[in-house]
Structure 1
Amino acid sequence: MDSLATTPLTDWHRENGAKMAPFAGFDMPVQYKGIIIEHNHTRSKAGIFDISHMGEFELSGPGAKDALNKVVSHDLNTLAPGKCRYGFLLNETGGINDDLIIYCLADDEYMLVVNGACREKDFNHIKDNLPNDLKLSDVSDETAKIDIQGPESLEVLNALMGADWKHLKYFNFEATDALGFSMIVSRTGYTGELGYELYLPADKALEVWEKLVADERVEPVGLGARDTLRLEIGYPLYGQDLDEAHTPVEAGAGFFLKKESDYIGKSGLGTVKESLVSLTIAGRRTARHDDAILLPSGETVGRVTSGSFAPSMGHCVALAYVKAEAADNDEFLVKTARTELKAQKVSLPFYKEGTARKKLD
């Protein structure tokens, strides 16, 4: 087995009692004090996350916008400097190679943030489909990423930076050297709460992390709670809810796709074989990845992609792919290893009290 990669904070996690596990080829913290404790702290105060396993690419050069526009599903014509946008990198048949956020740093200058497990695949795919005169660089190894998430994250960020950041709007970002080095502060996140993502030099990550941990409002949060937080909002996870076998339309994310111009994979978006549905299950019994989805008649029509007990809601929630012709049903059964659980289809988000889009006056 290949050795696991580390982040600039891996030693800190181990020294401070984190339970570690492999994720996306990295040795990552799963939990510190417990998944539910960390989940609830993020929903009520502020949690910090080491997300340095993510990949970051920089693209620049005359014509970069027009060239990248043909590769990704994002509409870069309406993406101004200082703003970022979520979307997809598709294969030729419309399947999802990866989901990613693109940051417009300046005219014809972008940062692409991709999933860590897809870093090499994404870089090669993008490079192979761009003109040779554009500069595409993988800056992942020199870049750390720390997320501050929760209703009190603005106050935590202000204390860290020594300035008020309430002006930063949702899916906007700014570069700053307030801490003595260049970094990006982005009002984005994966929890459904008000939050900020910090992109900073890898050799400054420990310094910033320790300043954040010293704030009494802050607790470190592992990947376990990150998963329950994102699932309560209905955010998909690449490799489970998103994959090369399904299109964004099948994943219920067609509204993210641009319509006016062509890009790789667009021609395959019209085929819908399965649809991703969101399900709630009463009680604490939990659906798991790959559990079968049945109609009440007993016919198998799909499988669970993500499932967990939702701490903020007190019951189980799940995402599942079902046959397109079954997606209009409101009631399903989840066949677990021990029993069958009744599941009700609902609209997203499951948890509706998140503060991510809160207006900061």
Structure 2
Amino acid sequence: MSELKKTPLNNYYQEVGAKLVDFGGWEMPVQFTSIIEEHKAVREDVGIFDVSHMGEVRVTGNEAVDFLNYALTNDVSKLKVNRAQYTTIANEKGGVIDDLLIYKLDENEFFLVPNAGNKDTDYEWLTGIEGFDVEITDESDDYAVIAIQGPNSREMVQKHTDEDISEMKMFNAKQDIDLAGHTVLLSQSGYTGEDGFEIYMKPDSLEPLWKVFKEDGAAECGLGARDTLRLEAGLPLHGQDLSPEITPIEARIGFAVNAKKEKFIGGEVLKDQKENGAPRRLSAFEMTGKGIPRTDYEVYDNDGNKVGYVTSGTKSPSTGKAIGFALVDTDFYEEGKEFIVKVRKREIPAKFVKNFK
């Protein structure tokens, strides 16, 4: 078994007694205090996350736009410099190899941020595509990343830079700015459903910047709160709600697929699903009986017919309700409809909801 990768904060985690787990081959904190406390801090104030396990891949060259438009599902040609876009890498069957952000740094220069466990797979997939004049570089070891999230995060970040970030909107980015004496790429983005930023920096800037925000009062947060926050916000997680067997259309992220593009990998299937519908759909639900849904629990209609399975589930710290995503037959879905989730040997009633608020 290979040794787990570590972010530059690993020694610090040992010192403060953070609870560490294996996540995508990385030793990462699942919590510092408690998941509920950290979740609440992000919803009400500000929290910080070490997301240095995410990958960074740079694509440059005269045919970078054409290459990325073929390799990815969204339309890269619509991106302006210092803007980011949510997109996916799909296989020939339309399944999601990964979901990621792509930044346009210059006319022929792009910066991709794949998920931690998929970085090597994504890099191999991209470098295996032939016929384009591009250079693809894995720069993951050159970056560390902090996500600072919550209603007071903007005010906290602004204290440490002369750049005006008051008007930064979702997926806006600023390159090479000074933040508390460190040169960073600042992106208005995140995975919590709150206002916030993701900060890309050199690895040796991670610990000093982390401590700057901690001293400001930001709560240190782990993967546990990140998961409850993203699920409450209705955001899918690759490996659960997204996979090579689940298409972006089925996962209800069709906005990441531009069906007007002429040709792209998986395009034939995805164009058809956009036009004619997909056989399954990812659907938000809440339990109406007592029980917490977990990944792979089976979903049945009230007549005992299996109609799908749970992809993600938890107890919402914000509402106290047990919530989740289920991938179900499209014909079965209807907002407010009741059904059954099998929790071990028990059959627990649940119903579809529009969102988790």
Q: TM-score range by the shorter chain?
A: over 0.9
Q: Which residue of 1 aligns with 2:304?
A: 298
Cα offset, 1:338, TM superposition = 4.6
Identity, in percent, stands at 38
1:193-342 aligned at under 5 Å gives the runs 193-216=194-217, 218-261=218-261, 262-269=263-270, 270=272, 272-282=278-288, 285-328=291-334, 330-342=337-349
Q: Which residue of 2 aligns with 1:99?
A: 99
1:32-111 aligned at under 5 Å gives the runs 32-111=32-111
Could you give the per-residue CA deviations for residues 189-212 of structure 1, whole angstroms, max 9, x where no partner exists? 000000000011112111111111
Look up the SS of the partner of 2:307 in the other structure: strand
Could you give the per-residue CA deviations for residues 219-270 of structure 1, whole angstroms, max 9, x where no partner exists? 1000000000000011000000000011111111113211221210011223
The aligned amino acid for 2:104 is: C
Please give the alpha-carbon distance, in whole angstroms, between the structure 1 residues aligned to 2:322 and 2:289: 7
| Runs of at least 5 residues in structure 1 that lack an aligned partner in the other structure | 352-361
| Runs of at least 5 residues in structure 2 that lack an aligned partner in the other structure | none
Please give the alpha-carbon distance, in whole angstroms, between the structure 1 residues aligned to 2:29 and 2:241: 22
The aligned amino acid for 2:205 is: K
The aligned amino acid for 1:331 is: E
Look up the SS of the partner of 1:244 in the other structure: coil
Q: Does 1:185 align with 2:191?
A: no
Moved more, 169-178 or 94-103: 169-178
The aligned amino acid for 1:3 is: E
Cα offset, 1:182, TM superposition = 3.1
1:18-33 aligned at under 5 Å gives the runs 18-33=18-33
Cα offset, 1:148, TM superposition = 0.3
Aligned length: 349
Preserved contact between residue 94 and residue 265 of structure 1 (Cα < 8 Å): yes
Q: Which residue of 2 aligns with 1:2?
A: 2
Preserved contact between residue 289 and residue 350 of structure 2 (Cα < 8 Å): no
The aligned amino acid for 1:142 is: D
Please give the alpha-carbon distance, in whole angstroms, between the structure 1 residues aligned to 2:77 and 2:22: 38
* RMSD of equivalent CA atoms: 1.5
Cα offset, 1:162, TM superposition = 4.8
Preserved contact between residue 160 and residue 212 of structure 1 (Cα < 8 Å): no
Preserved contact between residue 63 and residue 132 of structure 2 (Cα < 8 Å): no
Preserved contact between residue 288 and residue 307 of structure 1 (Cα < 8 Å): yes
Cα offset, 1:21, TM superposition = 0.4
Could you give the per-residue CA deviations for residues 47-106 of structure 1, whole angstroms, max 9, x where no partner exists? 000000000101111121112111101211211011101011000111110001110111
Q: For the structure 1 residues 5 and 183, does the alpha-carbon distance in structure 2 shift closer, same or farther, using more than 3 Å as the test? A: same
Look up the SS of the partner of 1:212 in the other structure: helix
Please give the alpha-carbon distance, in whole angstroms, between the structure 2 residues aligned to 1:169 and 1:298: 47
Runs of 4+ in 1 over 4 A off after TM superposition: none
TM-score w.r.t. length of structure 2: 0.94
Q: Which residue of 1 aligns with 2:158?
A: 158
TM-score w.r.t. length of structure 1: 0.93
Q: Which residue of 2 aligns with 1:168?
A: 168
Look up the SS of the partner of 2:71 in the other structure: coil
Please give the alpha-carbon distance, in whole angstroms, between the structure 2 residues aligned to 1:161 and 1:15: 29
Cα offset, 1:167, TM superposition = 2.0
Please give the alpha-carbon distance, in whole angstroms, between the structure 2 residues aligned to 1:2 and 1:147: 27
The aligned amino acid for 1:295 is: D
Cα offset, 1:282, TM superposition = 3.5
Cα offset, 1:346, TM superposition = 1.3
